[in-house]
Amino acid sequence: MLTERELMVLKDIIKLYTETGQPVGSKTLMTSLPIHVSSATIRNDMAALEDAGLIRKTHSSSGRVPSSAGYRYYLDNMLTPARVPEREMQTIRQSFGNDFGRIDEIIEQSARILSNLTSYTAITLGPEVANLTLEGFRLVPLGNHQVMAIIVASDGSVQNQVFTLPRELASEQVEKAIRIINDQLVGESLTTVAQKLRTDVPAMLMQQLQTPQGFLDAFGDVLRKAVSERFYVGGRLNLMDYFGSDNLNELKQIYRLIDRQDELNELLDTHTDDDAAQRPISVRLGSELSDQSLRNLSLITARYSVNDHGQGMIAILGPKSMPYSKMIGLLEAFRTELASRLTNYYDHH
């Protein structure tokens, strides 16, 4: 159990190290603590904190820096989110603007805004696709048996992909197959469409197409893109600020991680249990993350809700020494503004 003075010392060490990036010594703490105590007393408190594993020495320096355990103790027991100044809130609102053609544009823009505000790498995930429905499916001929398969979802998003259809598929057969898709599947949720694509649809197409597999491939692949979770990453280059020339391999590994949806999904831990889902904002430090290359970084994630349209997530990835009070306060305000923008979009579309 830490004493009140030891708590003050730990909080000030974290604050000063976050601001300066330099180890904090007892003389520096003498001038920053809200109470007057001797340098010897502060050194005793620092020794107790070091014994508890909450701070550590760096090389031979007499200064101390927070350990991962120290940050975790601070986050769990001492942190109070900072209030976002009104001027910064005005910047957030103005950055979003008002003209968005579809949901994905708002989510993508939010990643850019958040990375600019924090100077960290921002990751945003749109509302869950469970409530999206199929609005239409088309195949546009491109010549030489190539077609562009196009799917339109209820949120206005459009997914497309180019395919080569089997030569034996006549154009009138393809048109009949498209009518079947639109008659049977338009208005269904995308997840239901994906399920029927494996069960009911092949049998229906067999009545019109002797070899439906090429058509199913064209529709199925573009549908999988439509129902996949949509992550957007802003400020990728900001990661370079925290890696020197001796650990470029770690940086490359992180870039590979954020470019792969399955690994990014695991990093953000989007499919959590019910208890975790109730926590709107969470922080994971270094070794608590899914990849060893992230051991010197921290990830702050914040969930937001868009009424009946599901939940999404925003996150920032940055150094373990980030100013957590300020960042958590900013994410709290940002997720509220993003949810408001998305709600307005749904109300008007």
Q: How confident is the model at residue 14 (pLDDT cuts 50, 70, 90)?
A: very high
Domains of the chain and any CATH numbers: 4-77 (1.10.10.10), 86-128+231-348 (3.30.450.40), 130-227 (3.30.390.10)
Residue 235 and residue 118: Cα distance in Å, rounded? Answer: 9
- Total Cβ atoms within 10 A of residue 178: 17
Residue 344 tokens, joined: 């307005």
**pLDDT tens readout for residues 237-249:** 999 998 877 888 8
pLDDT value for 130: 60
**pLDDT tens readout for residues 177-204:** 888 888 888 888 877 887 787 788 787 7
Q: Which helix (H) or strand (E) holds 161?
A: strand 158-164
Residue 210 and residue 121: Cα distance in Å, rounded? Answer: 50
Q: Which sign does the torsion angle of CA 121, 318, 270, 283 carry?
A: negative
Residue 39 and residue 198: Cα distance in Å, rounded? Answer: 72
**pLDDT tens readout for residues 22-73:** 999 999 999 999 889 999 999 999 999 999 999 999 876 678 999 999 999 9
Closest CA to 117 of 288, 291, 327: 327
Strand, coil or helix: 135: strand
CA distances from 144 to 67, 164, 165 (A): 62, 8, 9
Q: What is the mean pLDDT of the chain?
A: 86
Residue 332 and residue 84: Cα distance in Å, rounded? Answer: 9
Closest CA to 16 of 70, 52, 53: 70
* Confidence (pTM): 0.77
Beta strands per DSSP E along the chain: 55-57, 64-66, 121-125, 134-143, 146-153, 158-164, 231-234, 281-285, 297-305, 311-319
Most confident of 94-103, 195-204, 211-220, 325-334: 325-334
158 vs 283: which has the higher pLDDT: 283
Residue 325 and residue 279: Cα distance in Å, rounded? Answer: 17
